Amino acid sequence: MELLGRWDDLSRKRPSKPIKSKEKVLDIQDYLKYKNERDYILFLIGVTTGYRAGDLVKLKVRDIKEALKRGEFTIYEGKKMNSKNIREKNRKPRSVELLPKVAKILKEYIRDKRDYEYMFQSRKGNNQPIGVQAVSNILKNAAEYFGLYNISAHSMRKTYAYKIYIDSGCDIVAVKELLGHRSIEETKAYIGLDREKYHQYSKALNDFVRWYLFF
């Protein structure tokens, strides 16, 4: 029983994965839009900006209006601000372009909302933001509907990073800079490149095995 408990703990701690298929990203968007527009908008911003879920859930309507005015999001990311390993002078906001298509969707979404309201409100309490764990549960359920597993709130940022990596011609340095990572190795591990290569190399070892049919 103790061994089973340990196995359960390990399985729960598997790193979240990016959603690598464009079709699956769009499927999940459609699914969320049908279920709850709040979740759809959160996912849309997440995969097009690469901001962490912990920063997204803190956004208020006034933040969106400012982004619409400037044509970009500018956020002091919580992880950087709270880290003891980052010097004060390096704690700069991260700016990301607001895509025109996303801007149109956001304008419509906030039309009747007040500046002080949280963009992504929890159903519990008055004007309280949804929690990151709740976001993970929502995305996990949506992803599993389409046969995807190990998807969490963090997958939005990883999906953004993987898309940039592929569309840039596998420019890992560009992804590193966009994410604000301190090393290329950190970025490779982050988007699962090391695991991907290991799987490819492992498959190549099949060449060493002669296939026999036993009757």
pLDDT tens-digit profile of 125-142? 789 999 999 999 999 999
**pTM for the full predicted model:** 0.80
pLDDT computed for residue 213 by the predictor: 52
- Residue 203 pLDDT: 53
**Cβ–Cβ < 8 Å for 97, 72:** yes
Q: φ and ψ at 101, to 5 degrees?
A: -65, -40
Question: What are the angstrom distances between the C-alpha of 214 and each of 132, 211?
Answer: 53, 10
Compute the distance between CA of residue 109 and CA of residue 41 in angstroms, rounded to an integer: 8
For residue 199, CA distances in Å to 35, 150, 203 come to: 35, 17, 6
The CA distances from residue 78 to 89, 121, 159, in Å, are 15, 19, 20
Residue 22 phi/psi, 5-degree rounding, is -60, -40
Provide DSSP, the chain: -HHHHHHHHHHHTPPP-----HHHHHHHHHHHHHH-HHHHHHHHHHHHH---HHHHTT-BHHHHHHHHHHTEEEE--HHHHH-TTS-GGG---EEEE--HHHHHHHHHHTTT--TTSBSSB-SSSSS-BPPHHHHHHHHHHHHHHTT--S--TTHHHHHHHHHHHHHTTS-HHHHHHHHT-S-HHHHHHHTTHHHHHHHHHHHHGGGG-------
Does the structure show a pLDDT above 70 at 2?
Answer: no
Residues 149-168 pLDDT 10s: 999 999 999 999 999 888 88
Whether the per-residue pLDDT at 94 is higher than 90: the answer is no
Does 117 score more than 90 pLDDT? yes
pLDDT in tens, 163-206: 988 888 888 888 888 887 788 888 888 787 766 554 554 455 55
Domains and CATH numbers, the chain: 14-204 (1.10.443.10)
Encoded tokens for 197: 């290569």
SS (HEC) of 16-70? CCCCCCHHHHHHHHHHHHHHCHHHHHHHHHHHHHCCCHHHHCCCEHHHHHHHHHH
The pLDDT value recorded for residue 14 is 78
User: According to the model, what pLDDT value does residue 81 have?
Assistant: 44
**Chain mean position to CA 57:** 13
Residues 149, 16: Cα–Cα separation, whole Å: 8
